[in-house]
Structure 1
Amino acid sequence: MNQSFQNIEKLKSKKLIDELFRNGQSVNAFPVKMIYAKIPFEDAVKLKAGVSVSKRNFKKAVDRNRIKRLLRESYRLHKASLIEKLDTQYVCMFLYLGKEEPNFEFVESKMKKVLLKFTEREELS
């Protein structure tokens, strides 16, 4: 399967983001939090994802952008196994809640835990 994170898979629509934060559920593996919701959209993908880092915790844009790159890369590497298990369309947002700058191995381990919790919760419902 293609392991890229294409433009069509990125969460950019303000309507979708507003609805996600209004009606979404969350799973957490501190400091990575995933907010998700079953929201239908027109594109031919099963999952749209976005990332966010708090300006309160990281004042410098350089630091926020680095953490967002780490989140996107760890998501990109593990999304194939996640998408195989989905049957409907989802919208999700990954938030980094920590106060210290992480390394890639840490972010990747937390991303795996969050995605595992998400798949377990969605299989039950």
Structure 2
Amino acid sequence: MKALLYVFLGGGLGSMLRYLVGIYTASFTTSFPYGTFIVNIIGSFIIGIIFGLTLKNTSQSGDLILLLIIGFCGGFTTFSSFAFENYNFLKNGEITVFATYTIASIVLGLSAVFLGLWISKLF
């Protein structure tokens, strides 16, 4: 039951923050989906840091993983939006935006995880 509570709380907070980022980025006048892009890169970075820290301190790692990685980052990041936005780019013939968004998301997302892991080693 405690595990479900951690996931619930983290997911709720992550979802609310995701919504706020979406409101903020909606004012950008471009077809590039900055909201999804930003939350996915930041979420990847957070996952790297939290995972790196839990590798050092295993006594609290289970609770932190549930609250922050599965809950918060699960609610904050959004692969389904990423997939849907890419579908729309392809459907509308926006191949350059599709390629830029997909490649940048994957490369920067993985880089953010590695950067987060590297930064966690400094603590």
TM bin, normalised by shorter chain, reads 0.3 to 0.5
Name the TM-score, length of structure 2 as normaliser.
0.35
Higher helix share: 2
Asked which structure has the greater CA Rg, the reply is: 2
Name the TM-score, length of structure 1 as normaliser.
0.34
Higher strand share: 1
